[in-house]
Amino acid sequence: MKRFVFAAAALTLSAGTALANQPMGPMVEAMDQSVANGVVSAAKVMADENGWLVVHRTDSAMKPGPVVGYAPLRAGETMDVAAILSEAVAPGDMLMLMVHGEAGGMQTGVFEYTLGAKEDGPIRVDGNLVMTTITAQ
């Protein structure tokens, strides 16, 4: 009986370790927040490659609108990513925080995306944008 319990515990631990070591795909975690300081933050961002956390305006239609801020991202997991807003955002405005790549542009390290362009464009996983929405407080 002791061998069975030990074997089951070992399998459970090794399965948990294997799952913990598997890389997560691209994602953004953020909550509704005050924008009074001119900054929007994501608590955690995962990116497969260097790129950008881009803040788009959006509304109930959930379609990405104009860019109102961005911040550079390193490949992997980044905690507390802060994007400085380039224009005023009012309490109640909906914002979409989205992962964009660093591909297709003319310069590395320079955010070149404009709405609908391919340069430094949005990352998609299984056809879906990697993003979350928040409401400015």
Tokens of 100: 């964009």
pTM (2 d.p.): 0.82
Residue 84 and residue 126: Cα distance in Å, rounded? Answer: 29
pLDDT digits (tens, 9 = 90+) for 101-129: 999 889 999 999 988 888 999 999 999 99
State the pLDDT at residue 21.
52
Strand order in 39-47's β-sheet?
27-29, 39-47, 76-85, 67-73, 51-58, 94-101, 131-135
Residue 57 and residue 60: Cα distance in Å, rounded? Answer: 11
CATH topology of domain 25-135: Immunoglobulin-like (2.60.40)
> Which residues share a beta bridge with 125?
128
Q: Where are the domains of the chain?
A: 25-135
% of the chain exceeding 70 in pLDDT: 83
Contact in structure between 51 and 102 (CB atoms under 8 Å): yes
pLDDT digits (tens, 9 = 90+) for 20-44: 555 579 999 999 999 999 999 999 9
